[in-house]
């Protein structure tokens, strides 16, 4: 968008598009990998500490769980029963879920998250790159943003539908932030394109 707005010819727009696609995919993958890895490390450390505490002071751990259930509204007697029965089945799981707030075990897969992020970014970036490859150069100013906005609306709608949220609101939200990002990119491109 930025390079197209500066009035550059097709090769420059296309190269910038492909570079943006690759750079964006790699940056999404790296960011996701680091983020999910550190989350997995934190979870593993929390579980190890919990396992150690359960082995060294089971009484205090049971009291901890009872206090949590009382805070959530159970009576002391029922909370004690619940804590005892859950800990008899799987003490670590009971503490992981109710004390640490883990809803699921070993869900963090850094490599999978990284590859998924890279592929989804690349597939989203592909349409504007394709448009800059095939559309007449004179139409770039509206064809690239229009096709991108249409794709953003469709993706926002699909995401909302999959999440059972209102489709129109989801589409509008993605469109709004996408258009804002494009307007800033185009603004920067125009600024440098006209002052050169
Ligand atoms: Zn505990």
Q: Structure tokens of 12?
A: 């420059």
pLDDT at 40: 87
d(CA 101, CA 156): 30
- Residue 104 CA, ligand 1 centroid: distance in Å: 16
pLDDT at 7: 78
- Residue 32 CA, ligand 1 centroid: distance in Å: 29
Q: Does the pLDDT value for residue 78 go beyond 90?
A: yes
- pTM summary value: 0.70
User: What are the CA-CA distances from residue 26 to residues 30, 116, 132, 182, 195 (Å)?
Assistant: 6, 11, 21, 20, 31
- Residue 87 CA, ligand 1 centroid: distance in Å: 10
- Residue 36 CA, ligand 1 centroid: distance in Å: 24
pLDDT at 194: 59
CA angle centred on 95, ends 93 and 99, rounded to 5°? 135
Q: What is the pLDDT of residues 80-93, one digit of tens each?
A: 999 999 999 999 99
d(CA 89, CA 81): 13
> So where are the chain's domains?
2-26+123-195
pLDDT at 196: 47
Average pLDDT (15-25) is: 93
pLDDT at 49: 94
pLDDT at 34: 95
pLDDT at 107: 67
Q: Does the pLDDT value for residue 144 go beyond 90?
A: no
- Residue 57 CA, ligand 1 centroid: distance in Å: 9
Average pLDDT (175-187) is: 87
């Amino acid at each position: 968008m930025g390079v197209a707005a500066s009035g550059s010819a097709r090769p420059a727009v296309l190269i910038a598009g492909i570079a943006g696609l690759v750079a964006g995919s790699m940056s999404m993958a790296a960011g996701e990998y680091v983020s999910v890895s550190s989350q997995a490390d934190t979870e593993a450390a929390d579980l190890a500490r919990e396992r150690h505490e359960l082995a060294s002071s089971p009484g205090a751990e049971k009291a901890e769980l009872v206090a949590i259930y009382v805070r959530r509204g159970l009576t002391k007697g029922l909370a004690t029963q619940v804590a005892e029965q859950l800990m008899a089945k799987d003490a670590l799981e009971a503490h992981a879920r109710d004390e640490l707030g883990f809803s699921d075990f070993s869900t963090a897969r850094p490599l999978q998250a990284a590859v998924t992020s890279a592929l989804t970014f690349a597939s989203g970036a592909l349409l504007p790159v394709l448009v800059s490859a095939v559309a007449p150069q004179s139409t770039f100013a509206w064809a690239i943003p229009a096709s991108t906005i249409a794709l953003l609306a469709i993706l926002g709608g699909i995401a909302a539908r999959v999440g059972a949220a209102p489709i129109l609101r989801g589409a509008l939200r993605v469109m709004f932030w996408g258009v804002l990002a494009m307007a800033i990119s185009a603004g920067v491109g125009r600024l440098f394109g006209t002052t050169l």
